[in-house]
Amino acid sequence: MDFIANLRSRLANRAQLTTDGHKAYLEAVENAFGAEIDYAMLIKVYGQSPVEGQRRYSPAERIATETHVFQGDPDKAHVSTSYVERQNLTMRMSMRRFTRLINAFSNFLENHMHALALYFMYYNLARPHKTLSKPYLKTPAMAAGLTDHVW
Give pLDDT tens digits along the chain (151 positions): 999 999 999 999 999 999 998 999 999 999 999 999 999 999 888 887 665 556 566 677 888 888 899 999 999 999 998 888 888 888 888 887 776 666 666 678 888 889 889 988 998 888 888 777 776 788 889 888 898 888 8
Range of the domain at 114: 89-143
pTM of the shown model: 0.68
For residues 104 and 129, state if they share a domain: yes
For residues 93 and 71, state if they share a domain: no
pLDDT of residue 148: 87
pLDDT of residue 57: 66
pLDDT of residue 100: 61
pLDDT of residue 56: 64
Task: State which H helix or E strand residue 12 sits in.
Answer: none
* Spatial distance between the Cα atoms of 6 and 115, rounded to a whole number of angstroms: 21
Q: How many domains does the chain have?
A: 2
For residues 93 and 138, state if they share a domain: yes
pLDDT of residue 143: 86
For residues 9 and 31, state if they share a domain: yes
Is residue 39 domain-resident? Answer: yes
For residues 44 and 95, state if they share a domain: no
For residues 112 and 44, state if they share a domain: no
For residues 70 and 129, state if they share a domain: no
* Spatial distance between the Cα atoms of 116 and 149, rounded to a whole number of angstroms: 24
For residues 75 and 136, state if they share a domain: no
pLDDT of residue 6: 93
pLDDT of residue 129: 82
For residues 75 and 94, state if they share a domain: no
Distance (Å) of CA 33 to CA 1, 4, 17, 91, 93? 11, 9, 11, 28, 33
For residues 63 and 38, state if they share a domain: yes
Is residue 151 domain-resident? Answer: no
For residues 67 and 136, state if they share a domain: no
* Spatial distance between the Cα atoms of 54 and 43, rounded to a whole number of angstroms: 26
Is residue 129 domain-resident? Answer: yes
